[in-house]
C-alpha cells in the first residue's frame, strides 16, 4: 500500500503545506498551477518544505520558465515525461489546451497529443498506471460556463491509464470513473483542498478520498 497526496491549484498560496504534510503521505503529486502567473522561483520556497518524493507538472497559470525551476528543485518534473515509482508508472502533461484568457502555459491539442504519444512509447506499464495532467480529459470534470473545456487529446489517451489526476477547473472538484479509469480533481490546495490516493497491491486497487485541511 502506498498513500499519495494529490494537490493542485496552489496559485502561489503555500500556507496550507504544513497541514498537508501532517497527513504523512509517502509521496506527493502536484497537478499544476503551482504559481499564479509566476514567479517561477517560487517553487523553491514550496519544495524546500516538502520532505517526501514529489512529482509535478506545471499548469496554464505557471510561466514556461517554471520547467527549468522544477528541474533544479527537489521535485521531479513530469511534463512530457514518464517514470516508474515502484508499482506505479507515471506520465505527466502540464499546461492546458487554449483558454480565452491567454494564460502563460497553453498548447494546442496537437502539441498535447504529441507529448503524450512520446511519453506513452517510453512508459513501462506497472500495477498502477497514472497520468498527472493539469487539464482534465474532455467531458470529465471539465465544465466551465456550461461548456466542456477539457483536452480532447487527454481524453484520447486516458484509457491507457488506471487513474487520471487533473485540476484546472476549480469548480469541478470530484471523482468520476469511466470504463474502469478513475478521474480525480482534488480541488484548490490554496483553500486546503486535496485528495489522498491509496494504491493497493493489486491492479485497479485504487481508493481516493477527497480531503480538507
Write the pLDDT tens digit of every residue in 126-139.
Answer: 999 999 999 999 99
Q: Determine the pLDDT at residue 84.
A: 95
Q: Determine the pLDDT at residue 171.
A: 95
Distance CA(10)–CA(190), nearest Å, equals 4
CA quadruple 99, 101, 103, 106: dihedral, nearest 10:
20
* Boundaries of domain holding 83: 2-212
Which among 132, 48, 19, 46 is positioned nearest to 85, based on CA atoms?
132
Whether the model pTM is above 0.85? yes
CATH number at residue 208: 3.60.21.10
For residue 15, count CB atoms less than 10 angstroms from its CB and return exposed for 0-12, middle for 13-18, buried for 19 or more.
exposed
Q: Determine the pLDDT at residue 45.
A: 87
Q: Determine the pLDDT at residue 192.
A: 98
Q: Which residues contact 25 (CB under 8 A, 6 or more apart)?
A: 3, 4, 5, 52, 196
C-alpha cell at 187: 480541488
Point out the residues of the chain with pLDDT beneath 70. none
Distance CA(167)–CA(56), nearest Å, equals 12
Residues pairing with 112 in the sheet:
none
Q: Determine the pLDDT at residue 75.
A: 94
Q: Determine the pLDDT at residue 1.
A: 83
How many distinct structural domains can be found in the chain? 1
Answer whether 38's CB lies under 8 Å from 63's CB. Answer: yes
Amino acid at each position: 500500500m502506498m498513500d499519495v497526496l494529490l494537490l493542485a491549484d496552489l496559485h502561489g498560496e503555500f500556507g496550507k503545506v504544513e497541514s498537508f504534510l501532517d497527513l504523512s503521505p509517502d509521496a506527493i503529486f502536484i497537478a499544476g498551477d503551482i504559481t499564479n502567473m509566476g514567479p517561477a522561483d517560487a517553487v523553491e520556497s514550496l519544495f524546500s518544505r516538502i520532505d517526501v518524493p514529489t512529482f509535478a507538472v506545471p499548469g496554464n497559470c505557471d510561466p514556461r520558465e517554471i520547467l527549468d525551476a522544477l528541474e533544479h528543485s527537489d521535485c521531479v518534473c513530469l511534463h512530457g515525461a514518464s517514470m516508474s515509482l515502484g508499482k506505479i508508472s507515471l506520465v505527466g502533461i502540464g499546461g492546458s489546451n487554449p483558454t480565452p484568457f491567454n494564460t502563460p502555459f497553453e498548447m494546442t491539442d496537437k502539441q498535447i497529443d504529441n507529448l503524450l504519444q512520446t511519453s506513452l512509447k517510453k512508459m513501462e506499464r506497472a500495477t498502477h498506471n497514472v497520468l498527472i495532467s493539469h487539464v482534465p480529459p474532455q467531458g470529465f470534470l471539465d465544465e466551465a460556463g456550461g461548456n466542456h473545456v477539457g483536452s480532447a487529446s487527454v481524453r484520447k489517451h486516458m484509457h491507457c491509464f488506471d487513474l487520471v489526476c487533473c485540476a484546472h477547473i476549480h469548480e469541478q472538484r470530484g471523482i468520476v470513473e469511466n470504463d474502469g479509469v478513475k478521474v480525480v480533481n482534488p480541488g484548490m490546495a490554496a483553500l486546503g483542498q486535496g485528495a489522498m490516493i491509496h494504491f493497493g497491491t493489486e491492479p485497479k486497487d485504487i481508493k481516493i478520498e477527497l480531503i480538507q485541511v
